[in-house]
Every structure is written in structure tokens, then in C-alpha cells.
Amino acid sequence: MQYRCEWAQSDPLLVQYHDTEWGVPEHDDTRQFEFLSLEIMQAGLSWLTVLRKREGFRRVFYGFDVPRVAAMTDHDVERLLQDEGIIRNRMKIEAIINNARAVLHMQKQQTLAEFFWSYVNGVPLDSRIAMDEDVPASTPLSHRISKDLKAHKFRFTGPTIIYAHMQATGIVNDHEKRCFRHDQVHPH
């Protein structure tokens, strides 16, 4: 039997996410925006809660199409706050809409993916962690990226959320060394 990261063993949805998405280098802007938005929604909650509502998020945020999300209004926020298919948190919803606008502004210079990947020169970092409890909540790099995102007017993008985003999008490989996915997402 293959070993997988400890955090991903308790639910089939976590297993599927871990085995097919988490830590895979992501260079598509829409997917980068989706992951960043989901990480924002996860703040203070379990990742499993977010995964269970993921299709709802995709529906209400138009498949995370940045221009469509950026065009959302206060009326849309009120509508989303009534939608039981998502996490109904006004601050998080407003942050996602705000961040879509920030992405549009950023894209005049570089894509969101280029922004994130520029911090590692396009090459994923491999933290080579031994066990799940060795994973940090944030790093000096996630603090730096968070600060730079705030300068670009992003909201709800503190260093812990940014580190989780780096993990999810493969900017850092935090699969445990013994996890079968470690070498698959970061071949040596």
C-alpha cells in the first residue's frame, strides 16, 4: 500500500485532492485564482469543509473567471450570503471580489501565476519534510509574498494563507518525503 501525507488520510475527498491536485505545479491564472480564493475561504475552517463546498464556489464565482468575479457588485455579495452551497462570510466573499480586481490590475504587468512563480525563479521549492507536524504555518518567503500582495491591494492574504497557497499550487513541495506523491510532483 502506498503511503500518503498524514493530513490526507481521513476522508475520500481529501485523498482524491491530495492524490491529484495538491502540490502539483500550477501555472494557469484561473486555477491560481481559484486556489487563492479557496485558501481565503478556508481561513479558520477545515480544508475538508472547503472541498465539500468547492462546486458551490465554482458556481457562484463563475468558475473563478477573474473578469466576471471582478465585475460582481454589492447585490451579488448579498445574493451569495443567502447561498447555502458556499461558506457565507461577507469579509471573505468581498475579499475574493476585491482580489479579482487586483488580479486584473496586476495582469497589466504580469499574470498572477508569473507573480507567484517569480519568487522561486519558476522552480518549486522542496522542503523535504519528514512528517506532517514539521510543516510550518508560514515562512519568511510567504511573509514577503503576503506583503507584496498587500501592496497590490489584495486582501485576506496573510502569510499563513499564502503558504497554504504555495503548497496547493506546487510552489513548495510539502508532501512528506515518504509520501508516494513527493517524487511525482517534484522529480529529482
Q: Mind telling me the catalytic residues?
A: 17, 39, 47
Ligand-binding site membership of 179 (annotated): yes
Residue 121, all three cell numbers: 525563479
Ligand-binding site membership of 18 (annotated): yes
User: What is the chain written as a DSSP string?
Assistant: -----GGGSS-HHHHHHHHHTTT-----HHHHHHHHHHHHHHTTS-HHHHHHTHHHHHHHTGGG-HHHHHT--HHHHHHHTT-TTS---HHHHHHHHHHHHHHHHHTTT--HHHHHHHTTTTS-EE---SSGGG--S--HHHHHHHHHHHHTT--S--HHHHHHHHHHTTSEE-S-TTSTTHHHHS--
Residue ranges of the binding site for Zn(2+): 5, 18, 175, 179
